[in-house]
């Protein structure tokens, strides 16, 4: 029953996403490619590939990932290194984060998120009771730090933060003493401050977050236009396909700021319904994780669910002005092949895990 609920909620959110991609992108698509259906056609193909991937991974015994976890992590690290090499990695939006594979562009940081979750789940299961000692966390933190560094070299601050936060949640749920997180938190804050100060564009984003109207045509432009989209939406919205902001005011609204168009066209009520769907999906996944018969499956489910939840929270927070602009997509909704396919593939893994505890539920 829980498995069917996960599938149903996933399909509903993806369908809403496809509608939203079309209505938010067709003006820009017609201007840029002389084809109003350019983005939606590609997104439909990505969705089909994603559902195929979800079906396949839902049929693969999740214990197989435990058997090959070292190989999976090694491949992810190799891809993170290769994407940094000019001529191999492709620059988009100022970041060398992609492999161009013809029709499809692969973002290795999305694969690394899954790889490090699998590794962490295996490690915590093997050292569950030893996790009470801080020295047993060093290996996880070292691998997480190395991955974060490689992602930051692209640079892709948003993906790095999502990955790190997801792993930290897995450690919090383990027997790792909570008091140690104070020290780790201080180190993390210092590191983030150093990274912000070392890159002028990151400092601009922080300043624009604090006061976007200080530079309304520069660093604060996206945040302001997103608020201008949400504001007129009111309770019920301006109506389907009647958004004003998608008419070249909000840059490429089909990606990171797609929720702003949803809020403008469907209003506060539409936004709340969408958030409710995400909440229900994530809550269902977490409930299942409590009944998984083995620690590896439980932590694998917690890791994937928490990373998806954190990414959703950050994206929505950016759109409504609670967080600085980070370039994080809204899972299952935003335009983008890698994000959609990998997310659906991850949900397939969770579906397979949920089958192991069907009798318990």
Identify the three-state secondary structure at position 224: helix
Burial (CB count within 10 angstroms: exposed 0-12, middle 13-18, buried 19+), residue 295? middle
Q: Residues near 192 by Cβ (< 8 Å), separated by ≥ 6?
A: none
- Give yes or no for residue 358 having a pLDDT over 60: no
Q: What is the pLDDT of residue 361?
A: 41
Q: What is the pLDDT of residue 6?
A: 93
Q: Is 148 contained in some domain? A: yes
Query: Which is higher by pLDDT, 211 or 112?
Result: 112
Report pTM: 0.90
- Give yes or no for residue 200 having a pLDDT over 70: no
Q: Residues near 293 by Cβ (< 8 Å), separated by ≥ 6?
A: 356, 357, 360
Q: Is 361 contained in some domain? A: no
Mean pLDDT of the chain: 86
Q: Residues near 198 by Cβ (< 8 Å), separated by ≥ 6?
A: none
Q: How many domains does the chain have?
A: 1
Query: Which is higher by pLDDT, 25 or 131?
Result: 25
Q: Using one digit for the tens of pLDDT, what is the confidence trace for 240-286?
A: 989 888 888 888 888 889 999 999 999 999 999 999 999 999 999 99
Q: Is 360 contained in some domain? A: no
Q: What is the pLDDT of residue 127?
A: 87
Q: Using one digit for the tens of pLDDT, what is the confidence trace for 7-16?
A: 999 999 999 9
Q: Which of 331, 352, 353, 361 is nearest to 166 (CA)?
A: 331
Identify the three-state secondary structure at position 317: helix
Q: What is the pLDDT of residue 330?
A: 93
Q: Is 169 contained in some domain? A: yes
Q: Using one digit for the tens of pLDDT, what is the confidence trace for 99-149?
A: 877 767 788 989 999 999 999 999 999 888 888 787 888 888 899 989 998
Q: Is 153 contained in some domain? A: yes
CA distance 331 to 310: 10
Cα 275 to the center of its chain, rounded Å: 15
- The runs of H, that is alpha helices, within the chain are 2-33, 38-59, 63-67, 69-82, 108-126, 138-152, 157-173, 180-198, 200-210, 221-233, 258-289, 295-319, 337-355
Q: Using one digit for the tens of pLDDT, what is the confidence trace for 47-66?
A: 999 999 999 999 999 999 99
Cα–Cα distances (Å) from 293 to 17, 103, 252, 326, 352, in that order, read 34, 41, 44, 37, 13
Q: Is 331 contained in some domain? A: yes
- Structural domain containing residue 162: 2-355
Q: What is the pLDDT of residue 205?
A: 64
Q: Is 120 contained in some domain? A: yes
Q: Is 338 contained in some domain? A: yes
CA distance 159 to 308: 11
CB atoms within 10 A of CB 200: 9
């Amino acid at each position: 029953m829980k498995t069917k609920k996960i599938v149903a909620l996933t399909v509903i959110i993806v369908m809403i996403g496809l509608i939203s991609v079309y209505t938010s992108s067709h003006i820009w698509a017609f201007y840029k490619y002389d084809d109003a259906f350019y983005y939606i056609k590609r997104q439909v193909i990505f969705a089909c590939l994603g559902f195929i991937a979800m079906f396949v991974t839902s049929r693969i015994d999740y214990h197989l990932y435990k058997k090959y976890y070292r190989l999976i992590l090694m491949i992810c690290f190799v891809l993170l290194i290769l994407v940094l090499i000019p001529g191999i990695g492709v620059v988009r939006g100022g970041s060398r984060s992609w492999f161009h594979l013809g029709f499809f562009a692969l973002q290795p940081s999305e694969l690394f998120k899954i790889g490090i979750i699998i590794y962490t789940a295996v490690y915590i299961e093997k050292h569950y009771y030893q996790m009470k000692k801080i020295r047993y966390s060093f290996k996880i933190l070292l691998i997480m730090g190395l991955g974060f560094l490689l992602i930051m070299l692209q640079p892709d601050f948003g993906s790095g933060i999502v990955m790190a936060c997801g792993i930290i949640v897995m450690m919090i749920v383990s027997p790792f003493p909570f008091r140690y997180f104070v020290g780790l938190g201080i180190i993390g804050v210092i590191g983030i401050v150093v990274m912000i100060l070392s890159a002028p564009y990151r400092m601009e984003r922080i300043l624009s977050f604090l006061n976007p109207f200080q530079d309304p045509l520069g660093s604060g432009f996206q945040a302001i236009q997103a608020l201008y989209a949400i504001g007129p939406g009111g309770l019920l919205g301006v109506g389907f396909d009647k958004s004003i902001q998608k008419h070249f005011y909000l840059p490429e609204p089909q990606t990171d700021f797609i929720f702003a168009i949803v809020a403008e066209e469907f209003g506060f009520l539409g936004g709340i319904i969408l958030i409710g769907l995400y909440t229900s999906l994530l809550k269902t996944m977490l409930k299942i994780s409590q009944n998984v018969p083995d620690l590896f499956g439980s932590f694998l489910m917690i890791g994937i669910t928490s990373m998806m939840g954190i990414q959703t929270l950050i994206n929505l927070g950016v759109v409504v002005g609670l967080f600085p602009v980070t370039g994080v997509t809204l899972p299952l909704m935003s335009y983008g092949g890698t994000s959609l396919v990998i997310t659906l593939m991850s949900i397939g893994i969770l579906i397979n895990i949920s089958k192991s505890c069907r009798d318990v539920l």
